[in-house]
A and B are shown apart, each in its own frame.
Chain A
Amino acid sequence: MLRALNTAATGLEAQQLNVDVIANNLANVNTTGFKRSRAEFADLLYAQLREPGSAVSQSEGLISPTGIQVGHGVRSVAVSTQFTVGAFTQGNGPLDVSIEDQGQVRGFIQVQLPNGQTAYTRDGTLQVNSEGEIVTSSGYKLFPAITGVPSDYVSLQIGTDGTIQAIQANNPTPVDVGQIELASFINPAGLRAYGSNFYLETEASGSAERGNPGEDQFGVIRSGFLESSNVEAVRELVSLITAQRAYEMNSRVIQTADEMLQTTATLRR
């Protein structure tokens, strides 16, 4: 009975984590470039109370064909991020960019964090700051930095290969400003989420491979479009219902084990 109580407690904890992950997904259903996560579970170790094939009854010569193995519940082994490409929606201007990968996410825009680290993102809401540098919506510079935007620019154009050109007021010829370089990882799911739509490289993700948009494995840049969140609301809501019912079932088991313990404890009044 005590084992059932603890087993059901692990089930409750697991479903709580499940709901936490689903809640985060649903909260970010409109976040540009957001990638949904899912909680992964595995069963805990088993106690071998009787070996299979051991004798059960000497007189009848019976053996137990399966043995008795009792489990201890469930544990969460991972919260894995799903790096599938979200839908492309129209952005507000040419500085809104998205990376057109097919199916699975390959390329990331590189950003320089204030502490010197390089972060990676799918959020292409770019802007020009007061010093003529291309920055993200949080104000962090791109990496490698693109700095030569002329102060009298009228508009900016970004090509499918990531080259940025500025059009000045009295100059019909576009001026080259720089090129966006992308990074890809063998296992994007291993990247560490930093917040603000940024990811950091880890040992599990593999090292960053750099290249230009449109070359090798990198998708082309689409200016004027943004990649929306890959959260599917219907799927998350169904998972939420399942998680709630599983939580309820586990709490019923706790109530049952509690009643059994209560019956045992009050056996002798």
Chain B
Amino acid sequence: MVYGMYLSAGGAISQSERADVIANNVANASTPGFRPQAATFRQYLAEELTPRSELASALGGGSGVYGTGTIDRPGRLVQTGRSLDMAIHGQGYFAVEREGRITYTRDGSFTLSGDGEIVTSDGLGRLLGASGPISVPGTDVIISEEGSITGRTVDGGTEEYGTVALWGFRANDLERAGGGFVPRQGAVPTAADGRVRQGSIEQSAVEPVREMSELVEALRVFEANMQFVRIQDSALQRAVNDIARLPG
């Protein structure tokens, strides 16, 4: 029974970790370009937890959270009408240089710095084009589907300011850092075939119905496991206090 209580506790803990992942998804329901995570579970073998025991091997070792994978589903594109908002239709990530390192993101809500460079909405990351950061003379620019940024000069001609570069990664080759992704060790970016849509933003890909039903399931399985702990506890209590009571 004591072993069984630990199995139940382990089950409850994994549901609580799953609820942590769901909570992060729900909190980021308004974050542009966000991809929800899903906790995956696996069974443990008894050998991983306890020394060799035939009974334990027959029972198994309970379950635990195995990993948190990214659900690689694109969010909906929403038109905002803002000239520096960009959304990627298809595969690919924007490359942004933050404090010396390169992070990747689907969040295309860019703005201009005081020197005219295209930066992220918090002002700390510079959008990288094919040849480094991109400077434009104002917000009145046209961004084509291939990412080339052009503007009209005062005398009516057109001028090119650079090209927005898109990079391809598999979703699980990227590690999450707040506000973007960094590639895992050894992951190499490939060219991406997505198209850039100016004036649109990719909304968070969190699906409320899915998250809420997962949350309900996590809660109920958690409670079921805890109920089992209580049941085993009361059985143990009877065994110790009633059955094993010495007469007299």
Real binding pair: yes
Q: B-contacting residues of A (Cβ < 8 Å)?
A: 1, 3-5, 7-8, 10-11, 14-15, 18, 38, 40-46, 48, 50, 52, 56-60, 62, 64-75, 77-78, 80, 82-84, 102-104, 106, 184, 186-190, 202-206, 216-217, 242-243, 245-246, 249-250, 252-253, 256-257, 259-260, 263-264, 267-268
Do most interface residues of chain A lie in helix, strand or loop, or is the interface mixed? mixed
Tell me which of A44, A62, A186 contacts B114 (CB under 8 A): A186
A57 to B64, alpha carbons, bound, how many Å? Answer: 12
Q: Do the beta carbons of A104 and B140 come within 8 Å of each other? A: yes
Cβ of B63 within 8 Å of any chain A Cβ, yes or no, is: no
Q: Do the beta carbons of A74 and B31 come within 8 Å of each other? A: yes
Stretch at the interface among B160-168, B170-178, B240-248: B170-178
Q: Do the beta carbons of A52 and B65 come within 8 Å of each other? A: no
Given that A52-B175, A106-B140 are contacting pairs, would A43 and B116 also be in contact in the complex, using a CB cutoff of 8 Å?
no
Q: Which of A45, A68, A72 has the most CB of B within 10 A?
A: A68
Q: Do the beta carbons of B67 and A66 come within 8 Å of each other? A: yes
A2 to B115, alpha carbons, bound, how many Å? Answer: 43
Cβ of B28 within 8 Å of any chain A Cβ, yes or no, is: yes
Stretch at the interface among B126-134, B189-197, B223-231: B223-231
Q: Do the beta carbons of A43 and B121 come within 8 Å of each other? A: no
Do most interface residues of chain B lie in helix, strand or loop, or is the interface mixed? mixed
B: interface residue count bin? 35 or more
Given that A3-B20, A83-B139, A187-B114 are contacting pairs, would A10 and B109 also be in contact in the complex, using a CB cutoff of 8 Å?
no
Pick 20 A–B contacts, CB within 8 A, sort by A: A7-B24, A8-B26, A11-B28, A42-B121, A64-B67, A65-B67, A69-B175, A69-B176, A80-B109, A80-B111, A82-B82, A190-B111, A204-B114, A217-B154, A249-B208, A252-B212, A253-B23, A253-B27, A264-B12, A267-B226
A204 to B26, alpha carbons, bound, how many Å? Answer: 32
Extra contacts besides A11-B28, A268-B233 (7): CB < 8 Å:
A1-B19, A7-B23, A83-B139, A246-B30, A263-B226, A264-B12, A267-B229
Given that A40-B109, A216-B154, A245-B208 are contacting pairs, would A4 and B20 also be in contact in the complex, using a CB cutoff of 8 Å?
yes
Q: A-contacting residues of B (Cβ < 8 Å)?
A: 12, 15-17, 19-24, 26-32, 34, 37, 39-40, 42, 44-45, 47-48, 65-70, 80-83, 107, 109, 111-116, 120-123, 137-140, 154, 172, 175-179, 184, 208, 211-212, 215-216, 218-219, 222-223, 226, 229-230, 233
Q: Do the beta carbons of A84 and B24 come within 8 Å of each other? A: no
Q: Do the beta carbons of A263 and B222 come within 8 Å of each other? A: yes
A78 to B216, alpha carbons, bound, how many Å? Answer: 33
Q: How far apart are A244's CB and chain B's nearest CB, in angstroms?
A: 12
Q: Do the beta carbons of B184 and A256 come within 8 Å of each other? A: no
Q: Do the beta carbons of A189 and B111 come within 8 Å of each other? A: yes
Q: Do the beta carbons of B139 and A189 come within 8 Å of each other? A: yes
B23 / chain A contacts, CB cutoff of 8 Å: 3-5, 7-8, 11, 73, 253, 257
Q: Do the beta carbons of B68 and A69 come within 8 Å of each other? A: yes
B28 / chain A contacts, CB cutoff of 8 Å: 11, 41, 43, 71, 73-74
B40 / chain A contacts, CB cutoff of 8 Å: 66
Q: Do the beta carbons of A78 and B122 come within 8 Å of each other? A: yes
A217 / chain B contacts, CB cutoff of 8 Å: 138, 154
- A81's nearest neighbour on chain B, judged by CB, is B111
